[in-house]
C-alpha cells in the first residue's frame, strides 16, 4: 500500500536531518485541565514542540484549541530529538555498535517517558498518544542517528506501552520542510516507509502528515519562491529557514492533523470543535 493511501483510508493499521532544532519546552495544558476527561499526549521534535520564542512554533502547541473542553493536549515534544534521544536522553552515546546503531547505556528511559508511564499522573485508559519523529533520526552521527530497524522497533515499544495502559497510539510521518521543484512543493523527509511498516506491525493508525503537509504548501502556492523566508506567504508560514514554523504556519499544520482525524474516522475526532 502506498503512503498516499494512508492519508485517506480510515483507521489504517499498519528524512534527512533538519536544520538545528531548538531547546527543550515544557508541556502545554488547557486551563480547564482538571475537568478534562481525555488527554492527548504528544511525543516528537521541534516541528511539534512548544515555542520558547516567536519562532519556531511547533504545531503541537496549536493543537489544544481545536478540541472541546473535555480534551487536554499534553505536549512532550522536544526540539532536536530523534525517537531514540527522546526516549533515552543522556544515555545515547556518540559511538556506534557493530550494527551501526548508537550505543545506549544504560538502557533506562528518560524521565519524560517515565512520567508518561506513571500510573498515577501519566497516560490512562481512554487517552491518546500521537508520535511524530523521523526528522533528526536521519542524522548520520550519534547520538541522533537511528537506523530503519531500530526506528520501527522503538515506535513499537511506545505503541505497546500505550496499548498496555488502554491508550490509543497514533503514528504520524514527519512533517515536510518546504522544498520547491519548479512550481510544486515536494516531500523532503525519510522514515516514511518505516512509519507505515511500524503501524501495520503494531496495529496502529498512521497519519501521513508528510504528504498532507506538502500538499498544503501547494494549496497555499508557497512555490516557487526565491528562498527568502522572511517575506511573502512563505515567510508568514515558515521561520527564516526551510523547516520550522511561524505561529500561523503551525496553526495550519495543526488544522491539517485535525482534518486527518476526521477524514480517517479516528475516534478522537469526536472531541474536535
The pLDDT value given to residue 36 = 52
- 103 neighbors 93 (Cβ within 8 angstroms): yes
The pLDDT value given to residue 28 = 45
Q: How far apart are CA 77 and CA 112, in angstroms?
A: 10
Q: How far apart are CA 168 and CA 268, in angstroms?
A: 9
Model confidence at 85, pLDDT cuts 50, 70, 90, reads very high
Q: Which fold has domain 38-176+188-210?
A: Rossmann fold (3.40.50)
**Residue 196 is placed in which grid cell?**
507505515
Kindly report the number of other CB atoms within 10 A of residue 270's CB atom. 13
The pLDDT value given to residue 6 = 40
Rounded to 5 degrees, φ, ψ at 43 are -130, 125
| Residue-level length of the chain | 273
pLDDT at 26 over 50: no
Give domain limits for the chain: 38-176+188-210
The pLDDT value given to residue 65 = 98
Mean pLDDT computed over 82-93:
98
Q: What is the mean pLDDT of the chain?
A: 90
What is the Cα gyration radius of the chain?
17
pLDDT at 243 over 70: yes
Can you give the pTM of this predicted structure? 0.87
Question: Could you tell me which residues come within 8 angstroms of residue 205 by beta carbon, excluding any fewer than 6 positions away?
Answer: 11, 12, 13, 170, 171, 199, 264, 266
pLDDT at 16 over 90: no
Q: How far apart are CA 207 and CA 12, in angstroms?
A: 9
What is the residue whose three cell numbers read 544504560?
106
The pLDDT value given to residue 19 = 38
Q: How far apart are CA 104 and CA 72, in angstroms?
A: 33
Sheet arrangement for strand 38-44? 71-75, 38-44, 128-132, 168-172, 205-207
Model confidence at 169, pLDDT cuts 50, 70, 90, reads very high
- 262 neighbors 271 (Cβ within 8 angstroms): no
Q: What is the pLDDT of residues 220-239, one digit of tens each?
A: 999 999 888 889 999 999 99
Q: What percent of the chain has pLDDT over 70?
A: 87
Q: How far apart are CA 21 and CA 258, in angstroms?
A: 24
Q: What is the pLDDT of residues 184-214, one digit of tens each?
A: 999 999 999 999 999 999 999 999 999 999 9
Amino acid at each position: 500500500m502506498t503512503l498516499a493511501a494512508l492519508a485517506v483510508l480510515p483507521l489504517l493499521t499498519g528524512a534527512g536531518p533538519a536544520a538545528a532544532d531548538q531547546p527543550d519546552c515544557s508541556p502545554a495544558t488547557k486551563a480547564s485541565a482538571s475537568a478534562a476527561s481525555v488527554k492527548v499526549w504528544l511525543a516528537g521534535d521541534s516541528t511539534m514542540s512548544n515555542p520558547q520564542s516567536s519562532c519556531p512554533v511547533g504545531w503541537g502547541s496549536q493543537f489544544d484549541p481545536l478540541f472541546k473542553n473535555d480534551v487536554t493536549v499534553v505536549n512532550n515534544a522536544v526540539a532536536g530529538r530523534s525517537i531514540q534521544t527522546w526516549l533515552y536522553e543522556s544515555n545515547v552515546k556518540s559511538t556506534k555498535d557493530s550494527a551501526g546503531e548508537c550505543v545506549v547505556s544504560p538502557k533506562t528511559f528518560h524521565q519524560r517517558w517515565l512520567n508518561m508511564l506513571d500510573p498515577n499522573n501519566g497516560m490512562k485508559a481512554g487517552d491518546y498518544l500521537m508520535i511524530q519523529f523521523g526528522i533528526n533520526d536521519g542524522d548520520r552521527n550519534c547520538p541522533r542517528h537511528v537506523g530503519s530497524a531500530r526506528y520501527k522497533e522503538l515506535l513499537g515499544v511506545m505503541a505497546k506501552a500505550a496499548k498496555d495502559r488502554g491508550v490509543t497510539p497514533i503514528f504520524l510521518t514527519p512533517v515536510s520542510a518546504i522544498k520547491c521543484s519548479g512550481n510544486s512543493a515536494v516531500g523532503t523527509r525519510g522514515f516514511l516507509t518505516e512509519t507505515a511498516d511500524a503501524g501495520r506491525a503494531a496495529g496502529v493508525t498512521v497519519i501521513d502528515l508528510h504528504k498532507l503537509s506538502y500538499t498544503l504548501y501547494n494549496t497555499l502556492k508557497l512555490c516557487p519562491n526565491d528562498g527568502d523566508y522572511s517575506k511573502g506567504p512563505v515567510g508568514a508560514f515558515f521561520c527564516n529557514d526551510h523547516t520550522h514554523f511561524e505561529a500561523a504556519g503551525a496553526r495550519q499544520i495543526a488544522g491539517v492533523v485535525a482534518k486527518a482525524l476526521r477524514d480517517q474516522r479516528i475516534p478522537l475526532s469526536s472531541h474536535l470543535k
